[in-house]
Homo-oligomer: A and B are copies of this chain.
C-alpha cells in the first residue's frame, strides 16, 4: 500500500480508473427512509446483534470510511464525528442523501438482487430513478420456492410450480442468486436430486412448515433442486460465499466445497459467480483459474475492510485470469455502502495497479485495460448488457 500520488504516470491511471462507468453486478436497494443513529450503526455491520453499549460500529474500518469518504459528498469536511455526520444526513433527508451518494459513485449499471428484505429498500426501478442509471434485476431462488409453498402446493406439485414460478419471476432478470451457503453450507451433495427425492423432501418441508407456522427453506435436497433448476433456466448464477451475517457458518462457505457442482455444471456453460469470498478469495481465484465457468468478486469484503481493502483487492489479482474477476458492492441499505463499494474498489485498484506500473511489471495501458475489464466489461459480457450507452 502506498499513496495514490506516486510517480507521474500514476495521475493518468488514476483518472482513467476514476472514469470507469462501473457495473455493480451484485447490489441491493438503498434504504428509502431517514435513519436513527442506532439504525445506521446496525446497517453498517454484518452482525445482526444489538450494538453493545461499550462500543460503536463507527469504530471500524467501514465506519471510518463512511466518515472519511461520504462526508464530503454530503457537504462536510472529511472525518467528522458520527453525530455531526448523522445530523447532516438527517438535514439533507434520505432522498437527497441517496441521490448524492449513488450518482457520485460512478456506477453506470446496477444489477439489483431483490431477495433479501426487498420490501424495506428501493427496488430496481427506484434505484434507476434515483441514480439516473439503468438497473436490472437478479432474482434469488429461495424466496421463489418459499412463495410457492406460501401460496399452497402439495409435495408432488412443488417441482412443477417452482419451475413455473422461476420462469415467470425471472422473465426480465439478468441473473439468479442462491444463498445455499446460508441455508445449509456449501458442503452439499452436488448431484441433481431425482424427482422422487424432490417430492419426498417437499413433503417433509410442507409438514414442518405446517407444524412451525414458518416457511423457511433449508433442506439440502430442495436447495440442490433449486440450483439445478436455476442452471436449467440458464441465466448466470450467483453464489453467496464467505463473509456474511452470523446466520452463516463461515467454515462451510469455503468456495472449494463447490468443486463437485462446478464440474457437474460445466457442460451447461452457465456462468457461476462466486460473491465476496472473503477470507477465501484466493480459493475463489484458483477456481476461476482452472474452471471456465467460474467467476468471482471480493464484493462485501471491500467495504468491511475499508483502508485495508487495498490488500483484499490485491489478493484478488493473483491466479485468476482477468476476464474472470468482477466488481460488486453488495451494498444493502445505506447508500453510503453503494458509494463506498465503488470508491474503495477504485482506490484499491489505483494503488495496486500503480504499484505494478511503478515497479515496471505492467504497462499503464495494461492496467487501465484490466481495471476496465473487472469494473465493467466482464460483467457486460457475462450478463449480456451490451456496450455501454
Whether A355 sits at the interface, judged by CB under 8 Å, is yes
A258 to chain B, nearest CB (A): 10
How many copies of this chain sit in the oligomeric assembly? 3
Hey, which chain B residues are within 8 Å of A358, CB to CB? 3
Of residues 237 through 284 on chain A, the ones whose CB sits less than 8 Å from some CB of chain B are: 243, 245-246, 249-251, 254, 256-257, 259, 263, 278-279, 282-283
Interface residues as binary, A282-319 with B (CB distance below 8 Å gives 1, 0 otherwise): 11001001111000000000001111100110110111
Interface residues of A, Cβ cutoff 8 Å to B:
1-4, 45-50, 52, 54-57, 59-61, 64-65, 68, 78-79, 243, 245-246, 249-251, 254, 256-257, 259, 263, 278-279, 282-283, 286, 289-292, 304-308, 311-312, 314-315, 317-324, 351, 355-356, 358-363, 366, 370, 373, 381
Q: Which of B246, B251, B282, B370 contacts A254 (CB 8 A)?
A: B251
Hey, which chain B residues are within 8 Å of A278, CB to CB? 282, 319
User: Are A49 and B292 in contact, with the CB atoms below 8 A?
Assistant: yes
Question: Contacts A59-B370, A64-B361 known; A279 to B289 CB distance under 8 Å?
Answer: no
Q: Which of B64, B263, B324 contacts A362 (CB 8 A)?
A: B64
User: Are B282 and A1 in contact, with the CB atoms below 8 A?
Assistant: no
- In the bound complex, what is the Cα–Cα distance between A68 and B259 (angstroms)? 33
Question: Contacts A59-B370, A362-B64 known; A289 to B46 CB distance under 8 Å?
Answer: yes
Question: Contacts A49-B292, A68-B362, A307-B356 known; A373 to B257 CB distance under 8 Å?
Answer: no
- In the bound complex, what is the Cα–Cα distance between A363 and B286 (angstroms)? 36
User: Are B291 and A318 in contact, with the CB atoms below 8 A?
Assistant: no
User: Are A311 and B304 in contact, with the CB atoms below 8 A?
Assistant: no
A350 to chain B, nearest CB (A): 11
Question: Contacts A323-B54, A361-B64 known; A305 to B292 CB distance under 8 Å?
Answer: no
User: Are B319 and A314 in contact, with the CB atoms below 8 A?
Assistant: no
Chain B residue with minimal CB distance to A252? B256
User: Are A319 and B305 in contact, with the CB atoms below 8 A?
Assistant: yes
Hey, which chain B residues are within 8 Å of A283, CB to CB? 250-251, 279
User: Are B307 and A361 in contact, with the CB atoms below 8 A?
Assistant: yes
Hey, which chain B residues are within 8 Å of A323, CB to CB? 54-56, 59
A42 to chain B, nearest CB (A): 12
User: Are B55 and A361 in contact, with the CB atoms below 8 A?
Assistant: no
User: Are A308 and B318 in contact, with the CB atoms below 8 A?
Assistant: yes
User: Are A355 and B291 in contact, with the CB atoms below 8 A?
Assistant: no
User: Are B290 and A279 in contact, with the CB atoms below 8 A?
Assistant: no
Q: Which of B48, B308, B314, B321 contacts A308 (CB 8 A)?
A: B314
Question: Contacts A292-B49, A319-B61 known; A54 to B381 CB distance under 8 Å?
Answer: yes
- In the bound complex, what is the Cα–Cα distance between A291 and B249 (angstroms)? 12
- In the bound complex, what is the Cα–Cα distance between A273 and B292 (angstroms)? 31
Q: Which of B45, B356, B361 contacts A289 (CB 8 A)?
A: B45
Question: Contacts A251-B259, A279-B286, A290-B47 known; A317 to B321 CB distance under 8 Å?
Answer: no
